[in-house]
Amino acid sequence: MPVNSLKQLQIFLEVATEAALAGGAVLQSYWGKLDDVQEKGRPGDLVTVADKASEEAILAVLQRHFPDHSVLAEESGTSGEPSAEYLWAIDPLDGTTNYAHQYPFFAVSIGLLINGIHQVGVIFDPFHQDLFRAAKGLGATRNRQPIQVSQTSELHRSLLVTGFAYDRRETADNNYAEFCHLTHLTQGVRRGGAAAIDLAYVACGRLDGFWERGLSPWDMAAGAVLVEEAGGTVTAYDNSPFLIQSGRILATNGYIHEALSHELTEIKPLAEFSPR
């Protein structure tokens, strides 16, 4: 069967859903019960037993259905060839810092890259029971109901969202200048702390646009499919084709895309930021 057939993509979507729900159930079971939160090396880059247990549950589902597929997972790394035809990009807990502080903005994110292109995505927010699903050519849904991006057509009327990389303390390439600049040009810029949910919210019209740097493929793979299948646009900052390995993404409802891209390419980064 052709890899891009809708029937095959539907199968992948159902398995990704099963895996996301399994991971989400684990996160629910650990919610409010963590007693060991560790840093992975960089300040603020946290990992918990919930991250690891969620990933184990997700991988068990994928292994059962597709034992020959490759995996790129946040906690356990790569299994199989990264350049394989099928590569699952998994974040078992996007928003670990939020989760550790019992701030209810986190999700499981599972995306499937086929020959390097994002084709299937599922994002599950277990706290709010929001299940976002999409596959190339099959549309996008929230809790099984079709979703679409917003109709906001002017940047000054938009509500945006972004985030800050873990190395923001050490690099001038830290998104602070963009955050300040676009806060003045729009109706607001939010910072949720979970890129997967940010992308899902763009897809369902709760937000009009999202940009961020310093991301990993597992942060973006599922959400990029959602936005595109909901009628939005996903590119690099300069409106060139989106490259998932770049760590940068610009995702909008499409209407404000050119204007937001222009602003992002014109903003000069802060030369230095040295907190006391």
More confident: 49 or 46: 49
Which pLDDT score, from 0 to 100, does residue 40 have? 58
In a domain, 275, yes or no: no
Q: Is the pLDDT of residue 124 over 70?
A: yes
Over the stretch 2-46, which tens digit does the pLDDT of each residue have? 545 999 999 999 999 999 999 999 999 999 887 766 665 555 556
My answer on whether 13 and 119 are in the same domain is yes
In a domain, 276, yes or no: no
My answer on whether 34 and 103 are in the same domain is yes
Q: Are 225 and 111 in contact (CB under 8 A)?
A: yes
Tokens of 43: 């300040």
My answer on whether 172 and 126 are in the same domain is no
My answer on whether 10 and 119 are in the same domain is yes
Q: Say how far apart CA 202 and CA 111 lie, in whole Å.
A: 17
- Tell me which residue range forms the domain holding 262: 155-266
In a domain, 42, yes or no: yes
Of residues 229, 234, 226, the one with CA closest to residue 250: 234
My answer on whether 85 and 164 are in the same domain is no
Q: Are 145 and 129 in contact (CB under 8 A)?
A: no
In a domain, 118, yes or no: yes
Q: Say how far apart CA 126 and CA 107 lie, in whole Å.
A: 7
Tokens of 218: 């597992």
My answer on whether 93 and 186 are in the same domain is no
Q: Of 146, 164, 185, at which residue does a domain stop?
A: 146
My answer on whether 59 and 162 are in the same domain is no
My answer on whether 140 and 17 are in the same domain is yes
My answer on whether 84 and 56 are in the same domain is yes
Out of 48-52, 191-195, 219-223, 234-238, least confident range: 48-52
Q: Say how far apart CA 23 and CA 81 lie, in whole Å.
A: 24
Q: Of 146, 166, 196, at which residue does a domain stop?
A: 146
Q: Is the pLDDT of residue 214 over 60?
A: yes
Over the stretch 248-271, which tens digit does the pLDDT of each residue have? 999 999 999 999 999 999 987 765
Specify the number of domains making up the chain.
2
Q: Of 146, 178, 210, at which residue does a domain stop?
A: 146
My answer on whether 133 and 170 are in the same domain is no
Of residues 105, 68, 70, the one with CA closest to residue 89: 70
Q: Locate tokens 């998994």: which residue?
A: 90
In a domain, 45, yes or no: yes
My answer on whether 109 and 167 are in the same domain is no
My answer on whether 19 and 71 are in the same domain is yes
3-state secondary structure the chain: CCCCCHHHHHHHHHHHHHHHHHHHHHHHHHCCCCCCEEECCCCCCEEEHHHHHHHHHHHHHHHHHCCCCEEEECCCEEECCCCCCEEEEEEEEECHHHHHCCCCCCEEEEEEEECCEEEEEEEEECCCCEEEEEECCCEEEECCEECCCCCCCCHHHCEEEECCCCCCCCCCCCCHHHHHHHHHHCCEEECCCCHHHHHHHHHCCCCCEEEECCCCHHHHHHHHHHHHHCCCEEECCCCCECCHHHCCEEEECCCCHHHHHHHHHHCCCCCCCCCC
CATH number for the domain spanning 222: value is: 3.40.190.80
CATH number for the domain spanning 118: value is: 3.30.540.10
